Amino acid sequence: MRIEDVDVPRARTGAADAILRALERHGFAWDGPVVWQSQRLPAYAEALAALQERGLVYECACTRRELATALIGHLGERVYPGTCRDGIDAARARDRYCSLRVRVPDAPLAFDDRVFGRLAQRLSEDVGDFVVRRSDGLFAYQLAVVVDDAAQGVTDVVRGGDLMSSTPRQLFLQRALALSEPRYMHVPVAVDAHGAKLSKSTGAAALGRSPATALAAAWRFLGQVESTEPFGAPDAFWKWAIAHWQPARIERRLAIRAALPFV
């Protein structure tokens, strides 16, 4: 279990504890103590130093306002135009805190998703050189997550399809740092009538009082074969679900715009 609170200023008091209690109510269990990203900064610094030693990192003095006019790629993100890739002149760097970006290759990066099959992305065209340490000194999520996945021995990543476009960035960092690469599976995202992902910000209802009901609803959403017997407790659901899990039944559908091309 990992609490991804690397963006410390945005962390809300009590939010992590609420998440952990909700997971426990729904029968989730984890191995070992909970890992907090906010306590792992030395590990991220070490990984960043390794990238710097390979000449893959450079300072960037661009502000959000300056990047607001950058072209938007087909993934819906602004593509970094490489403004600082060859250095920053003294006048531009003066009185500015710089972020650190990693140089991405021109070649496409492909991987096999357990639902969508072979996928590929050309980082240089779709994202550009991306930030690994922010101008405020905080480490970027993309760097932190690959370091932690390797340290925790993560073998499989199962997550929403809205995070699919992050996978090539993470694979690039894993390979640059000689870290292990998990298998990836991206599942459909639950959306409302307007196509927005269900969340508190879009007014989605909170989980009900019946964990078994919520788990059964998620099971149906993923296209799995339903049990003919009701489940009175999460433990009973998990025992049955683990034995009947069929990833092949998950539909290739994504209600997001950040899908990657098939190859």
**Is the residue at 8 inside a domain?**
no
How far is the CA of 235 from the CAs of 21, 166, 211, in angstroms? 15, 33, 10
Q: Give the pLDDT score at 252.
A: 75
The span from the CA of 241 to the CA of 113, in Å, is 22
- How does residue 124 score in pLDDT terms, banded at 50, 70 and 90? very high
**Is the residue at 214 inside a domain?**
yes
In the chain the beta strands, taken as DSSP E runs, fall at 2-3, 35-36, 57-60, 99-102, 109-113, 117-121, 130-133, 156-160, 183-187
**Is the residue at 158 inside a domain?**
yes
Q: Give the pLDDT score at 176.
A: 97
Beta sheet of 109-113, edge-to-edge order = 117-121, 109-113, 183-187, 156-160
**Is the residue at 263 inside a domain?**
no
Residues in Cβ contact with 115 at an 8 Å cutoff, skipping those fewer than 6 apart: 185, 186, 187, 247, 250, 252
Which domain, by its residues, includes 208? 22-249
Q: Is the C-alpha dihedral spanning 247, 248, 249, 251 positive or negative? A: positive
Residues in Cβ contact with 231 at an 8 Å cutoff, skipping those fewer than 6 apart: 212, 215, 216, 237, 240
Locate 90 and state its tokens. Answer: 């003294």
Residue 120 gets the label, from left (phi > 0), alpha (psi -120 to 50) or beta, of beta
Q: Give the pLDDT score at 256.
A: 41
130, β-bridge pairs: 102
Single pTM value for the model: 0.89
**Is the residue at 259 inside a domain?**
no
Q: Give the pLDDT score at 192.
A: 80
- Indicate whether 18 pLDDT > 80: yes
In this structure, are residues 81 and 225 in contact, taking their beta carbons and an 8 Å threshold? no
**Is the residue at 12 inside a domain?**
no
| Residue found by looking up tokens 């962390």 in the block | 11
**Is the residue at 7 inside a domain?**
no
Q: Read off the CATH number of the domain in which 70 is found.
A: 3.40.50.620
Helices 141-151 and 167-176, axial angle in degrees (round to 10) = 60
- Indicate whether 258 pLDDT > 60: no
Q: Which of 7-21, 99-113, 153-167, 214-228 has the lowest mean pLDDT?
A: 7-21
In this structure, are residues 128 and 82 in contact, taking their beta carbons and an 8 Å threshold? yes
- Indicate whether 202 pLDDT > 60: yes
202-226 in b/e burial notation, b at 16+ Cβ within 10 A?
A: eeeeeeeeebbebbbeebeebebee
Helices 211-221 and 234-244, axial angle in degrees (round to 10) = 20
As for how many domains the chain has, the answer is 1
The span from the CA of 103 to the CA of 56, in Å, is 5
| Residue found by looking up tokens 């779709």 in the block | 126
- Maximum average pLDDT range among 100-104, 199-203, 216-220: 100-104
Q: Give the pLDDT score at 260.
A: 60
Report the mean per-residue pLDDT for the chain.
89
Q: Give the pLDDT score at 196.
A: 81
**Is the residue at 92 inside a domain?**
yes
